[in-house]
Amino acid sequence: MIYELLLKIISSKGAAYLILLDPDKLSNDKLTEFVKYCEVSGVDGFLVGGSLLIDGDFENFLKKVKSSTDLPVIIFPGEVNQVYQPADAILFLSVVSGRNPEHLIGKHILAAPMIKKKNIEPISTGYIIVESGSVTTAEYISGSKPIPRNKPEIAAATALASQYLGMKLIYLEAGSGASQSVPNEMINAVSNYCNIPIIVGGGIKTPQDAKEKVNNGANIIVTGNFFENENNWNLIKNFADAIHFKVPISV
């Protein structure tokens, strides 16, 4: 089970590091090379998806990722049409920060039978969109208001409600390419208030920022955009080392 595997990684390495692969943004000819690069740099697994898919061929992209790595490959769906095999798991996201019923339960009713039929492990996740400077694709597409940056208590109460509803993960999302990442005070408030693992992503551009997020209670860090620039690939290991604070750094 991928959820248990994530818990094991969190407990052995301090936190887990996942890289988001967006079929629209990563060219097919670079995909295998990038995935291998991530593997040797200490990444723990991959999310595949995006809030809006325009050009990418999701199914073939997913197949290529799976055939390039033995690390967990988890679908991070932006839409119901992103449920495909082969995948090890899918984040079954409910946008709990918003009040749009389609993204709270509607899409899930359409997706659930497909997930069952394709035998993919669903990991129920309370998805909390956080204000990050400007309107992000996740916010716009889900038609839901983000939680204000200066209201950590709203995020904490939302996360606790998600936990009480039986969700297994919280995802604090600033949005892909966000100009500001999720505030550390908010991560801290959420981690002090609920006891399910917290994923933090969106706008994380430095190992230092990733490390601060872990120090404030993030259990899983996600980066995507930053490595769409190939010149940044050599920094993946720095991110992994900053996130895996329990693992002695090798030189």
CB of 111 to ligand 1GP, least distance (A): 18
CB of 142 to ligand 1GP, least distance (A): 12
Cα 57 from Cα 70, distance rounded (Å): 21
Decide whether 111 or 178 has the Cβ nearer to ligand 1GP.
178
Cα 124 from Cα 20, distance rounded (Å): 18
CB of 222 to ligand 1GP, least distance (A): 4
| Residue closest to 72 by CA, chosen among 60, 89, 91 | 89
Q: Does 172 bind ligand 1GP (CB under 6 A)?
A: no
Q: Which stretch binds ligand 1GP (CB under 6 A): 90-98, 170-178, 211-219, 236-244?
A: 170-178
Q: Under rule CB under 6 A, how many of the chain's residues touch ligand 1GP?
A: 14
Q: Which stretch binds ligand 1GP (CB under 6 A): 32-40, 145-153, 171-179, 235-243?
A: 171-179
Q: Which stretch binds ligand 1GP (CB under 6 A): 66-74, 127-135, 198-206, 236-244?
A: 198-206
Decide whether 51 or 158 has the Cβ nearer to ligand 1GP.
51
Q: Does 203 bind ligand 1GP (CB under 6 A)?
A: yes
Q: Does 45 bind ligand 1GP (CB under 6 A)?
A: no
Contacts of 42 (CB under 8 A, 6+ apart): 17, 236, 237, 240, 241, 244
Contact 115, 75 (CB under 8 A): no
Helices (H), 69-106: 101
Strands of 29-150 (E only): list them: 45-49, 73-76, 89-94, 121-129
Which of 131, 173, 209, 241 lies at the binding interface for ligand 1GP (CB under 6 A)? 173
Cα 44 from Cα 53, distance rounded (Å): 25
SS3 123: strand
Burial 183-209 (b: 16+ CB within 10 A, else e): bbebbbbbbebbebbbbbbbbbbebeb
Fill in the per-residue mask, 74 to 113: x = in contact with ligand 1GP (CB under 6 A), - = not in contact: ----------------------------------------
Q: Which positions lie near ligand 1GP, rule CB under 6 A?
A: 20, 173, 176-178, 201-204, 222-226
